[in-house]
Amino acid sequence: MSFQSFNNGLGVPLSSDNEWVQLADMLPWQQLDEAYQLLFTEMGGRAAKPFRLLYGASLIKQAEHLTDRSVVTAIRDTPAHQYFIGLDTYTTDLPFNHSTLVYFR
């Protein structure tokens, strides 16, 4: 996925200068996900949510000094955040419940 193909639904493309777009394109998401999946055994199942979704939300939370509840709202309201966490298109729905971050940590 590239920032040019991200459908933000607003008729305005994401800027390649946006810090979240740039960081999303620099991080090795596939390798990070593979390392994360090693924490789960075959008997214990797989993670319920995609790694990029939750780790990306955690990075946004820390960088912007937000609470769990406010980072979920910030992601809902910001197309660049949605791109950063790996969504294909902009949505006005909450990406997940704020309590999910507690389980991820």
- How confident is the model over 7-57, as pLDDT tens digits? 555 566 778 889 999 999 999 999 999 888 887 766 666 557 889 999 999
pLDDT number for residue 90: 83
CA distance 95 to 6: 16
Q: Look at the pTM and tell me if it is higher than 0.75.
A: yes
pLDDT number for residue 30: 94
Can you count the helices (H) and strands (E) in the chain? 6, 0
